[in-house]
Chain A
Amino acid sequence: MSYLRKVLAIVAKDVAAELRTREMLSSMFVFALLVILIFNFAFELRAEDQATLAPGVLWVAICFAGMLGLSRSFILEKDRGSIEGLLLAPIERSAIFLGKMLGNVLFMGLFELLILPIFVVLFNLSAGDLPLLLGVVLLGTIGFGGVGTLFSAMAVHTRAREVLLPILLFPVMVPVILAAVKLTAAIFDQLPLSEVQNWLSLLIAFDVIFMALSFMLFDYVIEE
């Protein structure tokens, strides 16, 4: 299918560009590491506290580093005018959204794979149900990626680009962060899934609704 091929072409292009410089992944990784360390110092985390605070710290680190990745994704496009190149091509605007979003989710996912082991070690946790943990992290990342791609496409045109994206995105992300933290905590505490079923439903619902919404609204945001 031509549409899908074009979406993947955009993802491939972003991956190729990142492979050349590895700037984004490394900065996201280092930034998240810093956040985790700062939390450690700031809260003087001792053994009992760590377990309770850990999920929160993880997701704060993911959020902040994620913001970094999101902004960079579009800033690079804008500065060389290459958004115009995309707009000139016979490609649906929604395909641009999907391509960018998948790229963002992919990069965040890669970065999360790098940071999770370090996080688990630093906080001295047992990873619990690993596939489930990865699943929750993925769902949270998708929630982030959908609206995040939409908002970063907007923020890139403003004067205070990098500052504005967190201001716009964080309040809307609250349900995702809450659900993700609750679910992550349950996984680390090795609680049965049925206890946090509602949070899972909330997260999935958010992902579906807001991905669809961002998909529809992206057209209005990408036109010059």
Chain B
Amino acid sequence: MLPGERWGIALLVAAAWLMLIAVVLVFGVAPDPVNLTTDMERYAQRIFYFHVPNWWVGFLAYLIAAVAGVLYLTKGHERWDVLEVASVEIGLTFTTIGLISGSIWAKPTWNTWWTWEPRLTTAAIGWLMYVGYLMLRSAIDHPERRARFSAVFSIVAFLSVPITFLAIRWWRTIHPVVIAGSSDSGMGGFALGPTIGLIFFFCLFAFTALYFALLTLRTRSEWLARRVQQLRQDILYRS
């Protein structure tokens, strides 16, 4: 039931090493992209290695939360609720970092801190949804009902993301469409050459490892917190 302590630490150590290597790669090894003109832009581009993985992890976290929601509703075991809340919290953290890092990147590139373009807007809405999730949880005292309602909400919220994104995309876009081949489309787009590509995927992997490490830790701390809560209730009830 409780993830083994050894696994958690091993995962954390592994993730830490991966992140360290990633940082070294990004700032030391990765070449400058070809078509960016100013030093500022070239340097700012490096955020891309951290920014996109942030979004990826955010998305992964919400996906896992939605799946955990389905599992909780069908199986009923508390461990799915624990997984769900842990995943949402971590996802929200990464999403917040993603929003901020994106903003930092945007200033030198687009000359604005924020803009209402599809990916950003969807991200902001997603952020709001999961803050709403946490607010929903904190507004319900009854633990079983809290778990049930959160599960329902996380499923609906996650499923609304693709359709929301689609809707918002049918407006204009200036976000660099990086994954679509190696053509630089849109403002600030740059070519995804082989070295850059490799480092990028390594960062993606490192961030994913970090997510799972944090998830394990958070899940464990949540279990312990609940156990403490139960013990406290038992003592109070008995006296």
Contacts and interface: CB of A to CB of B under 8 A. Distances in A.
Q: Do A and B bind each other?
A: yes
**How many of chain B's residues touch chain A, expressed as a range?**
20 to 34
B156 A198 contact: no
A160 B139 contact: yes
B126 to A, nearest CB: 8
A172 B125 CA distance: 8
Contact of B153 (A154, A178, A206): A154
B163 A206 contact: yes
Interface residues of A, number: 30
B157 A202 contact: no
B129 interface: yes
A62 B126 CA distance: 23
Given A164-B135, A171-B128, A147 B156 contact: yes
Interface in A146-170: 147, 150-151, 154, 157-160, 164, 167-168, 170
Given A157-B140, A175-B167, A221 B152 contact: yes
Interface in B126-149: 126, 128-129, 132, 135-136, 139-142, 145, 148-149
Given A172-B156, A220-B73, A157 B149 contact: yes
B21 interface: no
A172 B152 contact: no
Contacts of B178: none
A174 B167 contact: yes
Interface of B: 73, 125-126, 128-129, 132, 135-136, 139-142, 145, 148-149, 151-153, 155-157, 159-160, 163-164, 166-168, 170
Interface of A: 147, 150-151, 154, 157-160, 164, 167-168, 170-172, 174-175, 178-179, 198-199, 202, 205-206, 209-210, 213-214, 217, 220-221
Given A164-B139, A175-B160, 12 more contacts: A150-B152, A154-B153, A157-B140, A158-B139, A159-B140, A171-B126, A171-B129, A172-B164, A205-B163, A210-B160, A217-B155, A220-B151
